[in-house]
Chain A
């Protein structure tokens, strides 16, 4: 009996499995690599980094905007909630959070924040013990990335915006 049709069918079936695993695994793999890079620079999770303004030398995250100053941290809510704080400048600014599968599960911008500062708590569930009065965002994955964006409106404003964004922080509760 000829067995080559069975071998071909098996190869195609296995290729389909590899295809699906690659498509589903790529976002997690690339996010893991990004998280490893940020936490290595920060000296651990739940600590912020303040990278230089993106230029041709930047190789951390693909397609960075040269018009923004970024602050980033890896959040890890597996042991305790994480508090995100930042002053809010008088220009476009946003705080966004990304799950381990790349989903942008929360974003708030300067126009949506009352007052000049923001405090947000990231938690693994609604039941986590958190201080009253601070909004809680439930993270869909235990680890992910927090990214603060601050728009540089002119070269003259860089120093002021840079000083403000360096006050943004991520810290365990």
Chain B
């Protein structure tokens, strides 16, 4: 009886440690972060047969059916330029210029990796839809409160208190595909937070 109790305890503790350590490792790595450009992170082996088991597990949880990087590069930003976690109660300016790809887009996802509901049904802006400044650059406001111009709502926290932005580069230029770390990506500047 005493031995059986010990064996069950070992099994439970090992299961918690084993599965818990996987969660910690996968959370620490986001969706893959071998390459970082400012607040943006990406993995060079997403979707590829060279992906290691941890990358496959990350992709399965947060980016199932992602294409390999010759077709699409996915950058994800969980933080702003200052390194602070992106929060639904804060306002940000995403400032950049057209990106080296046939088509690009920036999309907001909640903590649960799904789109965040809002009255406007607006979740993203891309090369085809973003309004540009006179010099060709763009400014996208990401905030809980409606603003003029390009605005992506952060929602009311229904998908969690934090969010991430995903930047997709479909059919990236050859140089960009070869060296994603060399791409100039948009800045993410925090403006203010609701108290």
Is chain B found bound to chain A in the same assembly?
Answer: yes
B109 touches A26 (CB 8 A): no
B60 touches A30 (CB 8 A): yes
Write the B161-189 contact mask toward A (1 if CB under 8 angstroms, else 0). Answer: 00000101011000000000000000000
List the B side residues contacting A79 at CB < 8 Å. Answer: none
Which of chain B's residues has its CB closest to A34's CB? Answer: B64
Complex: A105 Cα to B17 Cα, angstroms:
33
B115 touches A15 (CB 8 A): no
Q: Which of A39-47, A57-65, A121-129 contacts B (4 or more CB under 8 A)?
A: A57-65
User: Would you call A147 an interface residue if the criterion is a C-beta within 8 Å of the partner chain's C-beta atoms?
Assistant: yes
- A62 CB to closest chain B CB (Å) equals 4
Given A19-B22, A34-B64, A96-B71, A65 and B105 contact (CB-CB distance below 8 Å): yes
A94 touches B67 (CB 8 A): yes
- A2 CB to closest chain B CB (Å) equals 14
A145 touches B65 (CB 8 A): yes
Q: Which of A6-14, A81-89, A131-139, A162-170 contacts B (4 or more CB under 8 A)?
A: A6-14
Given A94-B67, A103-B47, A56 and B116 contact (CB-CB distance below 8 Å): yes
- Give residues 102-148 of A contacting B (CB, 8 Å): 102-105, 107, 109, 111, 140, 145, 147
Complex: A7 Cα to B8 Cα, angstroms:
12
Q: Which of B86-94, B118-126, B138-146 contacts A (4 or more CB under 8 A)?
A: B118-126
Q: Which residues of B contact A (CB under 8 A)?
A: 6, 10-11, 13-15, 17-19, 21-22, 47-49, 51, 53-54, 56-57, 59-68, 70-71, 102-103, 105, 107, 109, 113-118, 121, 123-124, 126, 128-129, 166, 168, 170-171
A18 touches B49 (CB 8 A): no
- B33 CB to closest chain A CB (Å) equals 16
User: Would you call A17 an interface residue if the criterion is a C-beta within 8 Å of the partner chain's C-beta atoms?
Assistant: yes
B171 touches A109 (CB 8 A): yes
Selected contact of B126 from candidates A24, A55, A67, CB within 8 Å: A67
B107 touches A66 (CB 8 A): yes
Which of chain B's residues has its CB closest to A4's CB? Answer: B6
User: Would you call A159 an interface residue if the criterion is a C-beta within 8 Å of the partner chain's C-beta atoms?
Assistant: no
List the A side residues contacting B21 at CB < 8 Å. Answer: 15, 19
Q: Which 7 A-B pairs have the closest CB atoms?
A: A18-B18, A56-B117, A14-B14, A104-B47, A15-B17, A62-B113, A30-B60
Which of chain B's residues has its CB closest to A22's CB? Answer: B22
User: Would you call A51 an interface residue if the criterion is a C-beta within 8 Å of the partner chain's C-beta atoms?
Assistant: no
List the A side residues contacting B105 at CB < 8 Å. Answer: 65, 67
A92 touches B171 (CB 8 A): yes
25 contacts between A and B (CB under 8 A): A11-B10, A11-B14, A11-B17, A14-B14, A18-B14, A18-B18, A18-B19, A23-B22, A23-B53, A23-B57, A26-B60, A30-B64, A31-B64, A54-B123, A55-B115, A55-B121, A56-B118, A63-B113, A103-B47, A103-B56, A104-B68, A105-B49, A109-B71, A109-B171, A140-B49
Q: Which of B54, B115, B129 has the most CB of A within 10 A?
A: B115
A17 touches B64 (CB 8 A): no
